[in-house]
């Protein structure tokens, strides 16, 4: 059992001002009327001169006179479609691997993979460049097939022209259609169920695989219960320049359950004895690109089919893999590029926030135990969102006898923004076992005496961010200055500060039901 019970802290609402970057910035724009795209998407460009635009992963520069047109076209997919259409579908790319990866040898008997690519209203050029890069840069003996799952796109060129085009490729490519818009989760489930390879490799529809990307993934999967991701390189949404991603970052998440990249911690470097060509254990995956053994995918419960459209599924599968006895890794010798967009081009039926909140609630309710409250307190209103029926997912957790979320935080993600130990968690902040007053990665900090306190990035060095709670006097003492947190006793001050401990009612903070250790 947890030592520190969840409880509600009532910290004055005057502190609300410090809550920063409150909203998940998700933009979307209507794309239902993008059918003028039709003519542009026609097949044909699958080869180009080796000094053509974008070759070698070089950026494409659009001449001045076409800038207006370029901006218009950008809106269709939220990337530079004009640039993409200038680039050959089989352009060359640099070999961005670490030197130590280039001559690694892999067994002959690697499992074969199906590649499943789901798409909704994808551009012709990016979709087919993904397909060509898979075919051109994978040993065909390892490639079972490619399955393209059309999630009810509204583009004519993605119908018959697509089917005709892929028919002539040297690897079997199937095009499967969802009857109605279902979202990437259910579309991937459909693709997975119709595919036949021993391994399933999921890719987004705007990727480019580089030389040697597949072998190290498959080699790693031969080891039981390991789910693997390549390093995701960046294809610029502006220029389509190919930029190598870092082997020094791995996946995490914050209180809002946003996936984020963070530096690979020292402990993980040490575990690999400094060999950067060895796979990195990662707490979470970005979501779009990974390989998994087909039987293991089944065994751990595929995806949560109750999740809609987009979002949350990557954390859900990450938590599930780790908590239920698997391993999630980034294979640093495998590089696949992905067009990262700043905005979403398509609609989210029912509303973006609503859908993402629902998906996130499902994963929080099933996998995060009491730590779900960190998500709930930082996302006002989220608890009002209906998350549907989760009985089968909870039953799955039971059946697989998965470990608690505290185990995950302790053993897989000790550097998480969510503190493993906390004395209390309230409407605004948590009071952690490190005696920080903390929300997400921000800590209450006193850098100026008698001035307002501020939320600054947690440095975990105690110092200006160390607070002692006195459960009798109900004061929060800033240890360094021996002053008390004061919620603006002077009328002209709107923000809290630290002042001499006079223990007036302005310095009393109620951490209700808090169970503090002996030292208090």
| Residues engaged in binding ligand UDP (CB under 6 A) | 118-120, 122, 151, 181, 183-184, 187, 204-205, 288, 309-310, 341, 344
**CB-based contacts of 141: which residues, under 8 Å, 6+ apart?**
112
Residue number, 350 or 471, with CB nearest to ligand UDP = 350
Residue number, 182 or 464, with CB nearest to Mn ion = 182
- DSSP code for 284: B
The option from Mn ion, ligand UDP, none interacting with 233 (CB < 5 to 8 A, set by class) reads none
Shortest Å, Cβ 186 to ligand UDP: 9
The option from Mn ion, ligand UDP, none interacting with 423 (CB < 5 to 8 A, set by class) reads none
Residue number, 62 or 185, with CB nearest to ligand UDP = 185
* 316-345: contacts with Mn ion (CB under 5 A): none
The option from Mn ion, ligand UDP, none interacting with 220 (CB < 5 to 8 A, set by class) reads none
Q: Is 261 exposed, middle or buried (CB count within 10 Å of its CB: 0-12, 13-18, 19+)?
A: middle
Report helix angle 124-137 to 160-167, nearest 10: 20
Tokens standing for residue 420: 């493993």
**Contact between 151 and Mn ion (CB under 5 A)?**
no
Residue number, 181 or 487, with CB nearest to ligand UDP = 181
- 485 and 496 in contact (C-beta within 8 Å)? yes
- The residue length of the chain stands at 520
Residue number, 200 or 309, with CB nearest to ligand UDP = 309
Residue number, 204 or 316, with CB nearest to Mn ion = 204
Shortest Å, Cβ 338 to Mn ion: 6
Cα-Cα-Cα-Cα dihedral sign, residues 382, 384, 386, 390? positive
Among 308, 324, 298, which Cα is nearest to 394's?
Answer: 324
The option from ligand UDP, Mn ion, none interacting with 151 (CB < 5 to 8 A, set by class) reads ligand UDP
Shortest Å, Cβ 48 to ligand UDP: 24
* 193-222: contacts with Mn ion (CB under 5 A): 204
Residue number, 119 or 405, with CB nearest to ligand UDP = 119
The option from ligand UDP, Mn ion, none interacting with 122 (CB < 5 to 8 A, set by class) reads ligand UDP
Shortest Å, Cβ 288 to ligand UDP: 5
Q: Using alpha carbons, list the distances in angstroms from residue 330 to 230, 287, 376, 380, 426.
A: 6, 12, 29, 33, 35
Shortest Å, Cβ 498 to ligand UDP: 42
* 274-303: contacts with Mn ion (CB under 5 A): none
Shortest Å, Cβ 125 to ligand UDP: 14
Residue number, 288 or 419, with CB nearest to ligand UDP = 288
The option from ligand UDP, Mn ion, none interacting with 283 (CB < 5 to 8 A, set by class) reads none
Dist CA 11 CA 423 (whole Å) = 14
The option from Mn ion, ligand UDP, none interacting with 187 (CB < 5 to 8 A, set by class) reads ligand UDP
- DSSP code for 59: P
Dist CA 276 CA 519 (whole Å) = 43
| 386-393 long-range contacts, CB within 8 A, separation 24+ | 386/358, 387/358, 387/361, 387/362, 388/306, 388/358, 388/362, 389/306, 390/306, 390/362, 390/365, 390/366, 393/301, 393/304, 393/306, 393/362, 393/366
By beta-carbon distance, which residue lies closest to Mn ion?
Answer: 204
Dist CA 448 CA 451 (whole Å) = 5
Shortest Å, Cβ 248 to ligand UDP: 21
Shortest Å, Cβ 130 to ligand UDP: 9
Residue number, 307 or 446, with CB nearest to ligand UDP = 307
Shortest Å, Cβ 284 to ligand UDP: 13
- 466 and 473 in contact (C-beta within 8 Å)? no
Residue number, 305 or 516, with CB nearest to ligand UDP = 305
Q: Is 242 exposed, middle or buried (CB count within 10 Å of its CB: 0-12, 13-18, 19+)?
A: buried
Shortest Å, Cβ 204 to Mn ion: 4
Shortest Å, Cβ 288 to Mn ion: 5
Dist CA 17 CA 244 (whole Å) = 39
The option from ligand UDP, Mn ion, none interacting with 310 (CB < 5 to 8 A, set by class) reads ligand UDP
Phi-psi region of 271 (alpha: psi -120 to 50; beta: other; left: phi over 0): alpha
Strands (DSSP E) found in 392-496: 422-425, 430-432, 437-439, 442-445, 454-457, 467-470, 475-478, 483-486
Residue number, 125 or 373, with CB nearest to ligand UDP = 125
Beta-carbon neighbour count of residue 167 at 10 Å? 10
Q: Which residues bind Mn ion (CB under 5 A)?
A: 204
């Amino acid at each position: 059992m947890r030592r520190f019970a969840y409880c509600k802290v009532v910290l004055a609402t005057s502190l609300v001002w410090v809550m920063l970057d409150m909203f998940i910035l998700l933009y979307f724009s209507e794309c239902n009327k993008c059918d003028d795209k039709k003519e542009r998407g026609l097949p044909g460009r699958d080869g180009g001169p080796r000094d053509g635009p974008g070759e070698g992963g070089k950026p494409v520069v659009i001449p001045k006179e076409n800038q207006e047109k370029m901006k218009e076209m950008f809106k269709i997919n939220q990337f530079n479609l004009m640039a993409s259409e200038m680039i050959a579908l089989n352009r060359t790319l640099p070999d961005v691997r670490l030197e130590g990866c280039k001559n690694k040898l892999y067994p002959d008997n690697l499992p074969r993979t199906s590649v499943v690519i789901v798409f909704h209203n994808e551009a012709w050029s990016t979709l087919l460049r993904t397909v060509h890069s898979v075919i051109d840069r994978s040993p065909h003996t390892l490639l079972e097939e490619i399955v393209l799952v059309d999630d009810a796109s509204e583009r004519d060129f993605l119908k018959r022209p697509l089917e005709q085009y892929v028919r002539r490729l040297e690897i079997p490519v199937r095009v499967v259609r969802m009857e109605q818009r279902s979202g990437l989760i259910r579309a991937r489930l459909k693709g997975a169920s119709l595919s036949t390879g021993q391994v399933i490799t999921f890719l987004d529809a705007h990727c480019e695989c580089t030389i040697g990307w597949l072998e190290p993934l498959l080699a790693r999967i031969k080891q039981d219960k390991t789910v693997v991701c390549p390093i995701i390189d960046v294809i610029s949404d502006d220029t389509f320049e190919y930029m190598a991603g870092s082997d020094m970052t791995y996946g995490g998440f914050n209180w809002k359950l946003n996936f984020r990249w963070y530096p690979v911690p020292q402990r993980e470097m040490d575990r690999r004895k400094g060999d950067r060509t060895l796979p990195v254990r990662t707490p979470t995956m970005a979501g779009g690109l990974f390989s998994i053994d087909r039987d293991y995918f089944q065994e751990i419960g595929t995806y949560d089919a109750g999740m809609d459209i987009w979002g949350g599924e990557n954390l859900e599968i990450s938590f599930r893999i780790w908590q239920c006895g698997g391993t999630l890794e980034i294979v640093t010798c495998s590089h696949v590029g992905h067009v990262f967009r700043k905005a979403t081009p398509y609609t989210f039926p029912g509303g973006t926030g609503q859908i993402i909140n629902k998906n996130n609630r499902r994963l929080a309710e099933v996998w995060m135990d009491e730590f779900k409250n960190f998500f709930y307190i930082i996302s006002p209103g989220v608890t009002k969102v209906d998350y549907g029926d989760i009985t089968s997912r909870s039953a799955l957790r039971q059946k697989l006898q998965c470990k608690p979320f505290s185990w995950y935080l302790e053993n897989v993600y000790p550097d998480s923004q969510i503190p493993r130990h906390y004395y209390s968690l309230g409407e605004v902040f948590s009071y952690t076992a490190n005696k920080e007053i903390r929300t997400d990665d921000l800590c209450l900090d006193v850098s100026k005496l008698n001035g307002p306190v501020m939320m600054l990035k947690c440095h975990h060095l105690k110092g200006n961010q160390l607070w002692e709670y006195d459960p009798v006097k109900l004061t929060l003492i800033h240890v360094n200055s021996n002053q008390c947190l004061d919620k603006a006793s002077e009328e002209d001050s709107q923000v809290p500060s630290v002042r001499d401990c006079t223990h007036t009612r302005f310095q009393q903070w109620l951490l209700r039901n808090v169970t503090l250790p002996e030292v208090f």
